A and B are shown apart, each in its own frame.
Chain A
């Protein structure tokens, strides 16, 4: 609410004018009401900026709350987990932790889990869920855990021996209900259980730390759990024994006490060297991080549309001021002070801004809803899902409202102050303004700009700061403009400066390739803005030449000539409209081209991840399929077993531990053909790098997605980075150095890759080979082959995938996310198209007398309409071309000369860009139909009578 107070505060002067200054109020209100349809157009044109900002915030809120939902669904009251090495230690830990201070903790619950495969029914109607989880827990204790039974998801008494409660996710997968019998496969045996009840995916019932959206849990008593272990045989990973701790304060707020509780746990169970996993705090931190990342990402992309909206607002006010120039001059002539003129004009703008911001915020919520609906499909592939819960937070709305409102008001006030500085006589007689005087203060300001820019550049070079490298020299160039303008003609000087700004924006990261690596999306926003501003300024300054060339093509067509005359004569206004288009098209082209280039990478990326294998397989850790069994399958030529464990990593000189999966490999991976490395550092070949990591436990192959949780990377691991590898169960650590960077394996999600020997030393018997790469004889259909493996090893919970299909699925997700971005950015294009419609409507009003004259002289009505179409096309085409060319130029230099975009190969999506170009111009023309028809229908006598 504090932020809303800012809105009220900035509104106060205008409210004062409306309440206490009757003349100014009358001027503001009557001018606003004078032409309601045009006032409505101004409001509609201005609301899009607020809509875009609000839409971005709504997406961020939704992502944040959706991940927070995971905390409710998978953890409930569980704030910390304290894992034990074995059952004996688990019992000891449970006993110790029950004495945790009740002022901090409102529950301690011992639970144990292992992975299992489950089936129901019989062939041919057999239903299987390969990746389910058996959870041993006492239901009465669980319900009491955290003093909030509803949050635990547990109901009823603990199932008896041979009975179980299952979650809705598992019930749906097996298509069973209460009373059904299901078979659970683990540790080489199967056991049939009777389903007593179905529990929701919530709290302890939905307990899940795998990262998957669904919790396919079989909840049993400790007795049943022990019996399944006792009966078991084989080489499965031991169960996960843990004691869950619930902090006081509820599901989310309780996480605030994590630090104190962690200290209390370490104090209470000191002798057992407990490892405290702060699961709730981590999930909530991830939610906040992902939420803000998405907000930032959408806001950054949307900022192009927002800036375009601001330019539209400026353009509209320039037109309003031009139309009312003599009126403003008269007001000054009859004694109105400049401040009052600003007050009247700005208060009218305040009314528009208020209406536009309120409407824009509402439209933004709708836009956010649409984005969330579209995002849901992007986040729901066959093997990966995130359920999105549409959320609008009042705090976000207040924030976006205030930002939109204050920015719009500031723009309006600045414009009003500028318009108030009019020469009364020139204004009344509607005479052209003389060229601006060369003022000494511009020289001083220029010198300051140059100095600041130079200092920033020097600092940026030493710190490899991409923003400083981009903006420092840009400031220097801008600062030099006034001095340069005294040496050569003003327009030449400005053109040279604008041209150099574009060139610098395009080549900066080719000159400093390292600076852009891992940079935030805001860098590209800044780069786009700088280049677009420079490009539009350059073209605007050269409009005469450009127009001269174009006029040569249409000498006979008067409509063409008239259509070009206005944009060429009013370069400033044309520049504003062109900039609107160029800004939006820049980012649209940027995203479209990257999406296209990524798409072209599918085959290469698939081959890189697959190495010499074609099929990837994972099985239940409690009942893994052996490499020998797989080797016996017809068609399998080679098997490379891998073992995945939950590990934690700490960055060099940092205390924070980051849970991240680790996959151990052995020589068989090298034999089958290891994945292609993204970066092998100093090693001469990939094989040399893999061999070094296999043999040296101090080396590791890093996951290129390490510490990235969706959205643009805010951390990039590089070869040579030092990390501490931690076993979160035992707390054992090892220092490792990143020897190479692996490929982006997306849905396979190997995480960090590490030699088996070193991994075994650290993780002991929990290191079980439950993932395999298979090379197979050439088969017609890899997907059918993978499906046959699943049916053959049902009891092992095998999930097998064709690697190309799996990679294609992950690329489809990426593609959908990019489409979502494109759709969102198209909103910005609406700003441009709506903008040109609004500008044209106002142009018809402004040129009414001229149109009347032209019609009187014999200019046909259709030609008047056509001239408006030519004008709109010229502006739209120019903006679109500038945006497209600059975006491609930027991408080319980034991709060709730096590693900021990984291994992308530059390519131009000719078809998509053609659609963008033609579509933009076509929609701009469509938007001009109304004003053009209105202009064509103007009756000469009416126009002349009204104005004369």
Chain B
């Protein structure tokens, strides 16, 4: 947990003994078995594991989207599961960004309106929100698609809008659940490069993926199996090293 200059980075996320149980009638399934995790600020953490291992559940519980049955989660030193739903919602709006596999854009809003949504939720003035939304969209290469609705955009463009939406509010941490899962390899690469850039600018990122080439971009990779953290490795690859196998895979 050291920064490049050797100083100890402040953790942005501390999970302690997080346990999650899904119940359906008399049956219950333990999805997370008392999981511990610390994510330093500015880290790009990839989460991998087979289907049904608990990756998405982990992301939902750590981000406060879902309740936990035991343990605690501190985000920016705030125990999010002790907050009321309303306070947690406000905290999400102010500090977090989300990217989903299925883009999850609001179909009746234009690209700009989708991106300005979290800004408005965070209390940014409408004019400023619109301005920042446009800037962010231009930054992700969609300056020419500002007023298009999701139905009028390609899958890659939709995911770029989703990335822009996650970033527009300048969150402390971005949660991405299989952000490239619905994209072809070309589009996937452009999205992951975008995330890379953002991470290099200091963004904390937690990304769930099945794809080792996507995970290879991360600083650190944890592997989850049957609700348990079974591996935690630091990836020391350079950007070039990461790109090389990916490009060959594309080829």
Min CB–CB distance A349 → chain B (angstroms): 26
Residues of A within 8 A of B (CB): 431-432, 555-556, 558, 562, 565-566, 568-570, 849-850, 852-861, 939-942, 944-945, 947-948
CA separation between A948 and B101, bound complex, in Å?
A: 7
Q: Answer whether residue B120 sits at the interface, using C-beta atoms and an 8 A cutoff.
A: yes
Q: Which bucket holds chain B's interface residue count?
A: 35 or more
Closest 7 CB pairs of A and B: A858-B93, A941-B66, A569-B108, A432-B151, A853-B104, A941-B60, A941-B65
Q: Answer whether residue B44 sits at the interface, using C-beta atoms and an 8 A cutoff.
A: no
Residue of A nearest to B152 (CB): A432
CA separation between A109 and B153, bound complex, in Å?
A: 91
Q: Answer whether residue B147 sits at the interface, using C-beta atoms and an 8 A cutoff.
A: no
Residue of B nearest to A940 (CB): B65
Among residues 110 to 136 in chain B, which have CB atoms less than 8 Å away from a CB atom of chain A?
Answer: 113, 117-118, 120-122, 126
CB < 8 Å neighbour of B106 from A850, A860, A939, A942: A850
Contact present for B102 and A948 (CB under 8 Å):
yes
Q: A856-B92, A939-B66, A945-B60 are in contact. List 10 more A-B contacts (CB 8 A).
A: A432-B149, A565-B108, A569-B108, A570-B108, A850-B104, A853-B100, A858-B89, A858-B121, A860-B89, A941-B65
CB < 8 Å neighbour of A569 from B61, B85, B107: B107
Contact present for B92 and A858 (CB under 8 Å):
yes
CA separation between A857 and B100, bound complex, in Å?
A: 11
CA separation between A562 and B151, bound complex, in Å?
A: 17
Q: Which residues of A have CB within 8 Å of B122? A: 858
Residue of B nearest to A431 (CB): B151
Contact present for A568 and B165 (CB under 8 Å):
no
Contact present for A849 and B102 (CB under 8 Å):
yes
Contact present for B106 and A854 (CB under 8 Å):
yes
Q: Which residues of B have CB within 8 Å of A854? A: 106, 117
Contact present for B93 and A857 (CB under 8 Å):
yes
Q: Which residues of B have CB within 8 Å of A566? A: 108
* A-B CB contact pairs (8 Å), 28 listed: A432-B149, A432-B151, A555-B126, A558-B121, A562-B106, A565-B113, A566-B108, A568-B108, A569-B107, A569-B108, A849-B102, A850-B104, A853-B98, A853-B105, A854-B117, A857-B98, A857-B121, A858-B92, A858-B118, A859-B121, A860-B89, A860-B90, A861-B85, A939-B66, A945-B56, A945-B60, A945-B66, A948-B102
Name which of B100, B101, B113 has the most chain A CB atoms within 10 A of its CB: B100
Q: Which residues of B have CB within 8 Å of A556? A: 126
Residue of A nearest to B85 (CB): A861
Q: Which residues of B have CB within 8 Å of A945? A: 56, 60, 66
CA separation between A322 and B102, bound complex, in Å?
A: 18
Among residues 47 to 65 in chain B, which have CB atoms less than 8 Å away from a CB atom of chain A?
Answer: 56, 60-61, 63, 65
Q: Which residues of B have CB within 8 Å of A939? A: 65-67
Q: Answer whether residue B146 sits at the interface, using C-beta atoms and an 8 A cutoff.
A: no
Given contacts A555-B126, A941-B60, contact A857 B108 (CB under 8 A): no
Contact present for A948 and B56 (CB under 8 Å):
yes
CA separation between A849 and B98, bound complex, in Å?
A: 14
Residue of B nearest to A941 (CB): B66
Contact present for A857 and B126 (CB under 8 Å):
no
Q: Which residues of A have CB within 8 Å of B151? A: 431-432
Contact present for B107 and A558 (CB under 8 Å):
no
Residue of B nearest to A860 (CB): B89
Min CB–CB distance A567 → chain B (angstroms): 9
Q: Which residues of A have CB within 8 Å of B152? A: 432
CA separation between A948 and B55, bound complex, in Å?
A: 13
Name which of A432, A570, A856 has the most chain B CB atoms within 10 A of its CB: A856
CA separation between A857 and B120, bound complex, in Å?
A: 11
Residue of A nearest to B120 (CB): A558
CA separation between A562 and B106, bound complex, in Å?
A: 10
Min CB–CB distance A857 → chain B (angstroms): 5
Q: Which residues of B have CB within 8 Å of A861? A: 85-86, 89
Among residues 25 to 76 in chain B, which have CB atoms less than 8 Å away from a CB atom of chain A?
Answer: 56, 60-61, 63, 65-67
Q: Answer whether residue B177 sits at the interface, using C-beta atoms and an 8 A cutoff.
A: yes
Min CB–CB distance B95 → chain A (angstroms): 9
Contact present for A853 and B106 (CB under 8 Å):
yes
Contact present for A947 and B98 (CB under 8 Å):
no
Min CB–CB distance B111 → chain A (angstroms): 14
Q: Which residues of B have CB within 8 Å of A565? A: 106, 108-109, 113
Contact present for A857 and B165 (CB under 8 Å):
yes
